[in-house]
Amino acid sequence: MGTDELTPLVEEIKRHLEGGGHEVDLVAAPQPWPRAGRLVGEAVASGKSQAGVVCCWTGTGVSIAANKVPGIRAALCVDSATATGARRWNDANVLALSLRLTSAEVAREILDAFMQTSADPNEAETLSELS
């Protein structure tokens, strides 16, 4: 997990993930958003982490930074349906969240959807075109 600022939402995200049995490594907190996104992307791409969560004010900057790392598919999600689709159809491996727009309740719903959804194997051919 990485963020450009430590907020109550960041603490809630970490607490919720740990409560769900996930090990959370806060690799970049606080760091400038480009570094936070890159560090989380590198952790996921290297296999150190199975998935990543990045946060900044809008969520856009960290998603762009993470997506610059080869092998990363970061998705900025604002609701659980988008998170489910990002995992199922796009095999997203990094979740980006907006610190400005995301409430703790919505963050929990998004995190659960993202972490509990697997990629659709029928999408593998489509995803291979990204390589």
> Which one of 1, 53, 56, 115 is the catalytic residue?
56
- The tens digit of pLDDT for each residue in 39-80 reads 999 999 999 999 999 999 999 999 999 999 999 999 999 999
**Nearest-CA neighbor of 49 among 88, 2, 109?**
2
Q: Specify the pTM.
A: 0.94
Rounding to the nearest 10 degrees, give the CA dihedral for residues 2, 108, 74, 62: -40
Which domain, by its residues, includes 75?
2-128
> Catalytic residue at 55?
no
Q: Are 117 and 90 in contact (CB under 8 A)?
A: no
Rounded CA-CA distance 82/78 in Å is 7
Q: Any idea what the CATH number is for the domain that residue 87 is in?
A: 3.40.1400.10
**pLDDT value for 131:** 60
Number of domains comprising the chain: 1
- Per-residue pLDDT of 84-100, as tens digits, reads 999 999 999 999 999 99
For 71: left if phi > 0, alpha if psi spans -120 to 50, otherwise beta; the answer is left
- The model's confidence at residue 126, banded by pLDDT at 50, 70 and 90, is confident
